[in-house]
Each structure stands twice: as C-alpha cells, then as structure tokens.
Structure 1
C-alpha cells in the first residue's frame, strides 16, 4: 500500500487534481484543502491525501489504482482493515458487558456510509520554521481509526485532554495505532474520550529525507445509527461532562436523537474546502 501511495503522490499536481475530492468524501485532497483544527481558521494542513471508498469503481480511480492487480490488492487491504475493526469492536462490547454484536451490528458492511481508506503524504518543507503542522489537532469522527506508520517516521502526537499535554507516538512498521473517535465519546457519555491528535513535522534542509507517509482507515457507524448512550451498567451513573474539545466538536443538544451520519456530515463540512 505504501508503494502505491508513493507512486501516486509522485505524480504531477495537475494529474492528481483530476481526481479532486467532492462532497462524497473520496478523491484527492491537495495541500491546504483540509483544515482539521477547526478552532483556528488561519491554520492549514501541510499535507496531501487520497480518500478511497468501498463504492469507488475502477473507472473513478487513477489508472495506478484501477489496474487489476492493484485494484484487487487495495480492495483486499480495505476489507482486512474493516474485518480487524469488527474484531476490535467485539472486544470493546465485551469490556462493557453488553451484547457482543452491539457495535458490529451498527457497522454493517453493506450499509452507508462507506468506511474511508486514506493515503497520506506530508512533504518536507524547506527553511520555514522549526516545525510545521502536517495535520492540525483534531479527533476523528467515527468509532475507530487504524493508523499505519512507515519507515520509523512519526510526527504523530496525542493529547492528554486532562492535562493538556502532548505526547509523541513512537512509530513501528509492524504496529497499528488505534484511535477512538467521536462516536465512542457519545456512546460512553465521555467514559471513553475520542483521541485528539496532530502531526507536527520538523523542517530540515533536504526536501526528501523528512517527508512522511501514513495510511489511515476510518471506521464509521452506519448513517442511521444513534449516538445515544450504550446500555452498559458501567456508565449507568455516568454524567456526560464535556471538556473544551467536546464542547467544540460534540455540540449537539440531544445525543439521543443525533445519528452518526449527521455528526459525520457536520464535522466534514467544518474541515473541507471543496
């Protein structure tokens, strides 16, 4: 997957922009088109990306991705990520002592939305400042995110929301970073926090040695899934007290009537420039 990502991002910009992202949330995202830190309109993300959806047919993909062998490989990788998320969701249900299929039944493969496989490239920036924002501080919008890092290059940082302290995540090629998304903060009344994270890239003199590639798989509940609290005794007495991040991104008045599709649309509309 990283080999395919590198080949694509090496293409000329005018070629990549033939597949520019639309409201359906698939396609190419150019530098500055997405601002993940919605608390600041002045910041832009110094990255480019390509979103792949299950429903994308080969004729909608760049030729590199639509070649039969590559398309079959991408399709299998996508399904493997989905299947792993379903295993993890089963374990989380077990931890909450609720029906084992409670979460998986809300992530049915055949129902919308498609999960998103995202290829990411953070170019090295020359002679700008000590560091730059590859991806602004944010939480993901769905339930789980799988993140694959590459070549022992990180820049990924996680926020301890209780102390407002950032911690770097050491990269390993044979490990997957798993983040909880906003859905779980709603479902658990804040017992599980959505993971606030960012990518900070150091600036060096070389434009090649410090570029970063990563791959993310965003697992989203089906559109009509309610984000109302789960029926677990562990959180029965829990009161959902929102911190500053939750007040900003989980700002719906009534969680019992909010669907995952509505929340996803609200978050996407705040981050993208189409």
Structure 2
C-alpha cells in the first residue's frame, strides 16, 4: 500500500472487510479515505456556517481569541504548527470548538439556536463515527472491542475539538508557500472534511521523507492517526505527518480554501501505555526523528493523554 494511492474504506462493506482494511491502513499509510459516512449534508451546513463566521470583521472574531485551553479564534499568523524555533507562521485562521460546548461560550452567530443545533449535532455525529472506527480498530488488534472507546468517554474531560479552518486567498505566492506547517495531530483520530475540491493537503512518508498530495473528494472524509496511537502501538501505527501547501493552479486564480477537522482525543486521564495485543507484544519502540521530537517521554515516563496534549500545544501558539 503506497502513499501515492491512499486506501479507501467503505462503511457499507462487510464488517470483516472493514476490520482488515483498518489494520492495513493503520500499519502502512496512517491516512485513508472514508466512504459512506452519512455526513454529507451535515458537512455542507457546517461549511456554510464557517464561511459566515470567517467573513465577520476581525474585531468581532478577535473577541473570542484562543485560550490556553485551546478553544476560540486563531487569527492569521498566530499559529506555527511545525513547532520549530523559526519565525514561520501558518497562513490561515481557525475557530476551535470544544466538546459539549455551551451557547454562551460561542460567538453570537454560532450561539443562535439553529446554528448551535447544527454544531452540536455535527460534533456528536463525528464522535459517534470515531467510536465506530475505534471499535473496528480494536477488533483488528484482537483486543476487547471497547478497549479504545472506553478511553474516549463523551462525558469526561478531553482535548476533543471541532475546528473550522479558513485559508485566505494569497497573491504572489511561491511553490514553497506553506499554509499549515508540517505536523502530526496530537490525539487518536482526525476526521478531515475538504471542500469544493480545494487541494493543498500533503502527507509525508516518514520512511522515505517524501511528500504526497491528498486529493480532495467532497463525498469522502480523510482520516488519519495521531500521536496517541503511536504511543499505544509502540510505533506500529505512525502518527502521520502532514501539511497544507498552496494549490498547484494558475496563481492568478482564486486560491481561498476552507476545511473542517474533528480531532478525537482520549480522556485526559487515559494512560499512553501499549495496548495488550499480540501484534505488538514483542515490539521494540524505535523512534524516528519525528517521534523523538513529538513524543516527549523518551520511553522513561508514562504520560497521560492530557499531559501529552499540553506539551504539544505549548509549542504551537502565541497568545
């Protein structure tokens, strides 16, 4: 299985086929497309709402600035996902919405009853979809089917986040222009919804240090694994490194981009200890350069999901 042609998992397939496909995807590319997820209409409502929000004047959006708990508005140039010491910034703006958010925590546009209902239903549907995928994944590891879902209880505190993203149009950009720096996600699973065939997402094959485009399809979600699974699997599952670059189009054309990400995280108290699976029983966790940078425990201390998230987020933002 190659990064040049990412696997497609169809949720209408037989369960045994899905389980095997999950194992193949997590052990190879760590990125896959998900078909027949039943969120097509919901994602269109969310994109409409996101566009309305990002069209608001800056002074209104900045009233809801990002907090140290990672919720709120991220202005253009505030984030450096690559987490390095350079002055590079990400050419985007975003709005992070926490799980179980209350209307009084949101901008008035999102707090309107119809919009709030759209947001909370979309969050719940994304959560339910992730739980379904985690159940299949546990079965592929031949462990209790609720092993992963039991660490993602909806009512307990986690860093789970729904993120609306806007990449403003850029003029006079070069092929090297970066909209979101190279990074891995901090949690367990990420659902990414792309819009109107707007390209730019790329995934890194960490074994060859080669970047591959992740083509956008409106009818399929892109799913990827995060840092938590690299811990849990002793590196059997790689936390996929990805970035967003400028699309390869005529530079005189419109290149504005919207996307939506749902970041699924375990409960903050969940331990990042290896899963009890025969697949990894005798595996040695040999970290490559990215893992040495992103996974902080040096195999000496057991972290919780909350501790790992805080370590990663501290390198990302200026408040």
TM norm structure 1: 0.96
User: In structure 2, what is the equivalent of residue 205 of structure 1?
Assistant: 252
1:131 deviation in Å? 4.5
Which residue in the other structure is 1:121 paired with? 166
Residue of structure 2 equivalent to 1:38: 83
User: Match of 2:270, SS?
Assistant: coil
Q: How far does the alpha carbon of each residue in 1:94-117 deviate from its partner, in whole angstroms, 9 at most, with x for none?
A: 010000000000000000115100
1:136 alignment counterpart? 181
- State whether structure 2 residue 312 is matched by structure 1 residue 246: no
Q: Alpha carbons of 1:41 and 1:55: their partners in 2 closer, same or farther (altered >3 Å)?
A: farther
Aligned partner of 1:73 in structure 2 is: 118
Instruction: Check whether the contact 2:296–2:308 (CA below 8 A) recurs between aligned residues.
Output: no
Runs of 5+ unmatched residues, structure 2:
1-45
Structure 1 unaligned regions, length at least 5? none
**Separation in structure 2 between the aligned mates of residue 132 and residue 15 of structure 1, nearest angstrom:** 28
Is 2:178–2:246's contact at 8 Å kept on the other side of the alignment?
A: yes
Inter-partner Cα distance in structure 1 for 2:74 and 2:286:
35
2:151 to 91, 103, 106: 106
1:147 aligns with 2:192: yes
In 2, Cα distance between equivalents of 1:255 and 1:102: 24
CA distance in 1, matches of 2:222, 2:213: 12
Deviations 1:48-95 (A, max 9, x none): 000011243212211110110110111000000000000000011001
RMSD: 1.3
What secondary structure sits across from 1:198 in the alignment? strand
- What do residues 118-141 of structure 1 show as CA deviations (whole Å, max 9, x unaligned)? 000011111243342110000000
In the TM superposition, structure 1's runs of 4+ consecutive aligned residues that sit over 6 Å from their partners are: none
Partner of 1:222: 267
